[in-house]
Chain A
Amino acid sequence: MSVLRRARLLGPAAVVALLAACAGNAPQDTLEPEGKYAKDIDNLISPIFVISGIVFVLVLGGAVLIAIKYRARDDEHFDDMPHQVHGNNTLEIGWTILPALILGVVGVLSVAAIFNLYEEPPADAVKVQVVGQQWWWEYRYDLDGDGSYEEIVTANELVIPSGEQVGLEITSRDVIHSFWAPKLNGKRDAVPNRSHPWNLQADQPGEYIGQCTEFCGLSHAEMRIKVVALERDDFDQWVTDQQVEAETYAEDDTSEEAEGYRVFTQQLCASCHLVAGVNDDEFSDESIPEFHRDSIGGPGTITDPELQASRHAPNLTHFMSRSTFAGAKFDLRRDTEECEALGVRWAEDEDDLERCLDRGALEAWMRNPPAEKAMAAEVVPGRSPRRGMPNLELTEEQIDQLVAYLSTLK
């Protein structure tokens, strides 16, 4: 009996040891929540882990103890028949009801938590539409509360104010994806033709990472998520910055960024990537079916095999305010401490830009995107359109010019 008592004490200890083993440098750790919803979930799961741990130790310990205690010493002992017990109704009813009671308690806790996660955000909360697409995320902001998400369109990084409940509407443009920033909340699937409300809250400013968690094809592993939580003032500043349109360049401007601008608009780039103030007009295609615009928040769908290009590649208007590119697979801003400390405005200052821009990664990407990230970048005739950025066979000069142009998109 003393062994059993000891086992009961060891149960929670073992669970704690296991949980401790999960700590360390794990930026997607579900057991280190840093936002209200993730904390709610964590508070719910901890006692359940403890209960499970106790049951586990009892059953495993029981099985091992029984196996040792009632072991047949030899053949003679084996043939010395034990008392033949066929069953015991009291015990049966006991071990039916007892687990049912424990599970009943767990069930009540579970149901209460479910409805907490579904609580509606307050009317003045920041509302963001999260759109999954093979293999990156688009974030569209509704700032004026009119229900249409078009004031800010950005990609790869979801910028939110810290300490506030942010209302998400999660959807997809192609297959099913799942949005997950583990330290801020559980995951929610992005399903085409459906819009799923979800909440997010980061208690402190900082960067929180995650990944797409519903298998979505080739580069599912590299469809990454970054949530950047800013103090309210910084967030307001970011909102103002993001609504500025990009400038255009005159025909006779021969600066490198003007050359890059012409590469952007005259090569295939501008047929998929939008830069507000530059090629908005080409993106107002009225022939796209109505329901798509409603549920997805913008024209263009790559579910139509006739369309060679999606028109939905990441919006580049404020490219240099992001720290990553290509579905957050690569760092745009170097991941050194000093560069990370510059935050979302890391490219404002020319020196900082020069120091912190990961030029090599960006140039390699433009040289041959499919070699850098697995994508179905070529059309399969009659079966599948292009999904992902193809190799545009840019010259080194064009790449330099494009980098110069992109550097102006702050």
Chain B
Amino acid sequence: MTPTSGPLALPSGEAPPRNPLGVFARPTATRGWRSWITTVDHKRIGIMYGAASLFFLLIGGIEALLIRVQLATPDGQVLSADAYNQVYTMHGTTMIFLVVMPIGAAFMNYLIPLQIGARDVAFPRLNALSFWTFLGGGILLNSSWLLGGGADGGWFNYAPNNGVIYSPSHGIDFWNMGLIITGIASLVGAINLIVTCLNLRAPGMKLFRMPVFTWMALVTQFLLLFAIPVLTVAQFLLLFDRLFGARFFDVDAGADPLLWEHLFWIFGHPEVYIMVIPAFGVISEIIPVFSRKPLFGYPFMIFSGIAIGFLGWGVWAHHMFASGIGPLSVAAFSVSTMFIAVPTGVKIFNWLATMWGGRLKLEAPLLYSIGLVTMFTIGGLSGVTHAVAASDTQQTDTYYIVAHFHYVLFGGALFGFIGGWYFWWPKVFGYTLGNTVGKVNFWILLVGFNLTFGPMHILGLQGMPRRTYTYRDGYGFNLWNFVSTIGAFTIAVSFLVFFWNIWSSYKKAKASGLKMVADPWDGRSLEWTIQSPTPVHNFDISPTVHRLDDFWHRKYQENGDGKLVRIATSEQIVQPGNPRGVHLPSPSYWPIVLAAGLPFVGWGLIFNLWLCLVGGILIVAAIYGWVLEPSTAPEAARGPDDHVTPPDREGDGGQSAATEEAALVD
């Protein structure tokens, strides 16, 4: 962080004689770790989101295996009751907040600008802040393992069991602070991506020409924007209860513990859709490409997504059918919950109709997409069975529910995301993941997944409660628990195959030395019109969009017989990756510095308030640095010909002007 020679230089070239206090130049590294920690490039941030969530997937996966080992046999002795409660709490929290949500964020960060023809998101530095804040929250949360133990109240952490009296360790404080911080990340990201979708679309990219993935991302971000604050409010109440002796959830002082349940599930149910809707978007991109057909009922797919987003706010109390709310509320929420199956069904039928009559190329991305359609259907149907509130009084808090939501979140969200990894991997990393290994990977995962979670339906109906560290012989639970444990290890094997696929495909691609083509799947949306891997500036010139699936229609047209014929090859359309006159946002030190301050505030509140001072200084310094930072780094070689207006600029037809100005907002 060296002061520059002329950070506030005027366009005329005059420079102030010396640097004002606190003004630092923008970082200039384009390679190496420095470039990664200072990057504001949405693609690198997307990749870091993906890498971080894979790391947390490893942690959450190990926790899952510990649970399954403990429950493999009756009276398991691997984990104590206390250890089990921590492990299952952290498994749920990690998988939801640090795996599925950030994998969605990885896709959305990387793809939204590419799909709408933009060079970056609306607020690139805020985007970096989102990622580092998320990572800081994740580290704070998991640091509890080294600092006295994890949270032990379940990911839902019901009051008053989440109070100091019933959970005297600091685990829940870590949980609280960690999720407040990842909540900041989600909120910042939501605002950023909403503005990006609304303001940075390329010329002609009307809202109803946006790819379905981007649409679903937009719906998701609106859900985040409204859902996260509810959780944060509840967590602040709990924070004051636990650390400063407030009595929001103190039953002795007259508190009603249902307050926490309501607040938590008003956040918690939209949260389910926050996790699964992006995956719906992913497979809505994959299925048309691998079926050679446009998405069936595009407007219905969009509106059903929006409908799910809206209805998702009116069903939270179905988590509370046994909690003691009155019969009228139970009836209302039972009915509203059932009807959320309608737009979900519309999506399922539209995916099937897209495949109907197509030419299905059964490669890994499509297999995972079909996996989502079928596995999610199972989760949806079991969902209908406990939307029937009376039968939910038998099923709630049993393994039947564990089966249900794993079919929704693993069979739904994760299957879609893994399909998305196989689909967009060449665009992101410039090499294709092995298809045969990918298929093997899919079948192992499908078998392992159903072995693990299928039997849990039966266990639940047989009366095995969830969140129990042990069970007894003689209850009919033995066989299916053992099968489930075998399944869990099968899933672990499938992930090893996936990681091996990444590694071996990379070696193979490197050995062959071939350059990845821009459009390996004969794609439909704008990200396939640029080089692979994506050039740092995304688009040489901003594309002008004329219709939905614009790229496809520039490659194919119907002839007189209504038969689709190719009119251009991808190579003729794809941008060569030689930009001129591109201005990209400069990297910045401050997002990571600001984000680094937040966990210190967390640790400080738990251990020693002086640590809060350290965190506070980092945060305030970063905010000042951020504000005073020069808007560009003249010497930073970010993008070719930066700040040089090319002579033939007019030749672009001015198409790109709007986008580039918008990128200057930061």
A interface residues with partner B (beta carbon < 8 Å):
18-19, 21-22, 24-31, 38, 40-41, 44-45, 48-49, 52, 55-56, 59-60, 62-64, 66-67, 70-72, 77-88, 91-92, 95-96, 99-100, 103, 106-107, 109-111, 113-118, 134, 174-176, 178, 180, 182, 185-189, 191-194, 196, 210-222, 289, 291-292, 301, 303-305, 374, 376, 380, 383-385, 387
Q: How far is the CA of A385 from the CA of B164 in the complex (A)?
A: 10
* Residue from A22, A221, A384 within 8 A of B470 (CB atoms): A221
Query: Shortest 4 CB-CB distances between A and B: which pairs?
Result: A186-B393, A28-B463, A26-B476, A221-B468
Q: Would you give the shortest CB distance from A307 to chain B, in whole angstroms?
A: 11
Smallest Cβ-Cβ distance to A27: which chain B residue: B475
Of the listed stretches B98-106, B110-118, B254-262, name the one at the interface; the rest are far from the partner chain.
B254-262
Q: Shortest Cβ distance from A379 into chain B, in angstroms?
A: 10
Q: How far is the CA of A322 from the CA of B561 in the complex (A)?
A: 84
Residues of B within 8 A of A38 (CB): 394
Chain A residues contacting B158 (CB-CB under 8 Å) are 175-176, 214-215
B665 at the interface (CB under 8 A from A): no
The answer on a CB contact under 8 Å between B469 and A221 is yes
The reply to whether B345 and A95 form a contact with Cβ atoms under 8 Å apart is yes
Q: Complex: how many Å from CA A219 to CA B346?
A: 44
B269 at the interface (CB under 8 A from A): no
B457 to chain A: which residues have CB within 8 Å? 18
Chain B: CB-nearest residue to A302: B165
A215 to B161, CA, bound (A): 9
Q: Which residue of B lies closest to A289 (CB)?
A: B252
Find B357's partner among A26, A82, A107, A292 (CB 8 Å cutoff): A82
When the two chains form their complex, are residues A28 and B462 in contact, meaning their CB atoms are under 8 A apart?
yes
B165 and A96: CB pair below 8 A? Answer: no
User: What residues of chain A lie closer than 8 Å to B556, measured between beta carbons?
Assistant: 81
For residue A45, which residues in chain B have a CB less than 8 angstroms away from its CB? 385, 388, 390-391, 394
Q: Which of B316-342 touch A at CB < 8 Å?
A: 322-324, 327, 330-331, 334-335, 338-339, 341-342
- Chain A residues with Cβ below 8 Å from B85 are 215, 217-218, 220
Docked CA distance A52–B395 (Å):
16
23 pairs of residues in contact across A and B, judged by CB atoms under 8 Å: A18-B457, A26-B476, A30-B461, A30-B463, A44-B388, A45-B385, A48-B391, A63-B355, A64-B374, A71-B360, A85-B353, A87-B296, A95-B346, A100-B342, A106-B388, A110-B389, A114-B330, A193-B251, A193-B254, A220-B469, A221-B470, A291-B254, A384-B168
Q: List the B side residues contacting A71 at CB < 8 Å.
A: 360, 362
User: 1/0 contact trace for B280-298 toward A, CB 8 Å?
Assistant: 0000000000011110111
Binary interface profile of B, 394-408, with partner A (CB < 8 Å = 1, else 0)? 111110000000000
Take A67-B355, A81-B563, A174-B166 as given contacts and tell me if A192 and B394 are in contact as well, using a CB distance cutoff of 8 Å. no
Interchain CA distance A55-B331 in the complex, whole Å: 24
B351: nearest chain-A partner, CB-CB: A63
Within 8 A of A (CB), among B558-589: 558, 562-565
Query: Which one of B255, B345, B463, B470 lies within 8 Å of A193 (CB-CB)?
Result: B255
Given A44-B388, A87-B299; 20 other pairs, CB 8 A cutoff: A52-B385, A70-B360, A72-B361, A81-B556, A100-B342, A103-B339, A114-B390, A118-B327, A175-B158, A175-B166, A186-B390, A211-B468, A217-B152, A217-B153, A217-B161, A219-B81, A221-B469, A376-B168, A383-B168, A387-B166
CA distance A223 to B82 in the complex (A): 15
Complex contacts, B331 vs chain A, CB 8 Å: 110-111, 114-115
Across the interface, which residues of B come within 8 angstroms of A106, CB to CB?
338, 384, 388
Cβ–Cβ contact A186 & B322, under 8 A: yes
**Contact in complex: A384, B166 (CB < 8 Å):** yes
Main SS at interface, chain A: mixed
Complex CA gap A38/B335 in Å reads: 21
The answer, among A26, A63, A99, for a CB contact under 8 Å with B341, is A99
B298 and A86 contacting across the interface, CB-CB below 8 Å: yes
Cβ of A99 and Cβ of B256 under 8 Å apart? no
A70 partner residues in chain B, CB cutoff 8 A: 291, 355-360
User: Is A30 touching B324 in the complex (CB atoms < 8 A)?
Assistant: no
Report the Cα distance A115→B358, complex, angstroms: 49
Cα distance, A84 to B294, chains bound together (Å): 7
Are A220 and B293 within 8 A (Cβ)? no
Contacts of B50 in A (CB 8 A): none
Closest to B160 in A: A175
Is the CB–CB distance between A30 and B81 below 8 Å?
Answer: no
Assess whether B389 is in contact with A114, with CB atoms less than 8 Å apart: yes
Complex Cα–Cα for A60 and B360 (A) = 17
Interface size classification for chain B: 35 or more
Would A86 and B166 count as touching, CB distance under 8 A? no
Across the interface, which residues of B come within 8 angstroms of A29, CB to CB?
461-463, 476
Contact across chains for A303 and B291 when beta carbons are under 8 A apart: no
Q: For chain B, residues 448 to 500, give those with C-beta under 8 angstroms from any C-beta of chain A.
A: 457-458, 461-465, 467-471, 474-477
A21 touches B458 (CB 8 A): yes
Closest to B378 in A: A56
With most chain A CB atoms within 10 A of its CB, the pick from B339, B458, B468 is B468
What A residues does B293 contact at CB under 8 A?
82, 84-85
Q: What residues of A have a CB within 8 angstroms of the CB of B476 in the complex?
A: 22, 24-27, 29
CB <8 Å contact, B165 and A26: no
Residue in A77, A134, A218 with the greatest tally of chain B CB atoms within 10 Å = A218
CB-based contact B393/A41 at 8 Å: yes
In angstroms, Cα B362 to Cα A100, docked, is 32
**A86 vs B359: C-alpha distance when bound (angstroms):** 15
* B564, chain A: closest CB distance, angstroms: 4
A22 CB, nearest partner CB in chain B, Å: 5
Cβ–Cβ contact A191 & B323, under 8 A: yes
B349 on interface, CB distance cutoff 8 Å: yes
State A27–B462 Cα separation when bound (angstroms): 8
CB-nearest residue of chain B to A181: B463
Residue among A21, A96, A189, A214 making CB contact with B346, cutoff 8 Å: A96
The answer to whether A186 touches B394, judged by C-beta atoms less than 8 angstroms apart, is yes
| A82 with B258: CB separation less than 8 A | no
Complex interface: chain A residues within 8 A of B334 (CB): 107, 110-111, 114
Interface check B348, CB cutoff 8 A? yes
Q: Provide the bound-state CA to CA distance between A391 and B330, in Å.
A: 44
Q: Is the CB of B257 within 8 A of A192?
A: yes
Contact A83–B562 (Cβ < 8 Å): yes
Query: What's the least CB distance linking A313 to chain B, in Å?
Result: 17
Once A22-B458, A110-B335 are accepted as A-B contacts, the answer to whether A187 and B397 lie under 8 Å apart by CB is: yes
Residues on B with C-beta less than 8 A from A59 are 348, 352, 373-374, 377
User: In the bound complex, what is the Cα–Cα distance between A176 and B458 (angstroms)?
Assistant: 26
* Residues of chain A contacted by B565 (CB below 8 angstroms): 81
Q: Does B297 contact A87, Cβ atoms closer than 8 Å?
A: yes
Residues of A within 8 A of B467 (CB): 215, 220-221
Smallest CB gap from A38: residue in B: B394
In the complex the two chains form, what is the Cα distance from A178 to B469 in whole Å?
17
Residues of A within 8 A of B558 (CB): 84
Residues of B within 8 A of A387 (CB): 166
Partner of A30, one of B80, B254, B462: B462
Closest to A335 in B: B474
| Residues in A neighbouring B310, C-beta threshold 8 A | none
Which residues of chain B are within 8 angstroms of A49 by Cβ–Cβ distance? 385
CB-CB under 8 A from A24, the residues of chain B are 476
B655 interface contact, C-beta 8 A: no
Question: B157-215: which residues lie under 8 A (CB-CB) from chain A?
Answer: 158, 160-161, 164-168
Q: Is the CB of B393 within 8 A of A117?
A: yes
Q: Which of B165, B294, B398 has the most CB of A within 10 A?
A: B165
- Contact B394–A304 (Cβ < 8 Å): no
What's the minimum C-beta distance from A194 to chain B, rounded to whole angstroms? 6
For residue B217, CB closer than 8 A to chain A, the reply is no
Bound Cα distance A72, B384 (Å): 35
A38 to chain B, nearest CB (A): 8
In contact, B391 and A218 (Cβ under 8 angstroms): no
| Residues in chain A near residue B397, CB distance under 8 A | 178, 187, 213-215
By a CB distance below 8 angstroms, the chain A residues around B360 are: 66-67, 70-72
Please, which residues of chain B bring their CB within 8 A of the CB of A109? 388
A124 to chain B, nearest CB (A): 24
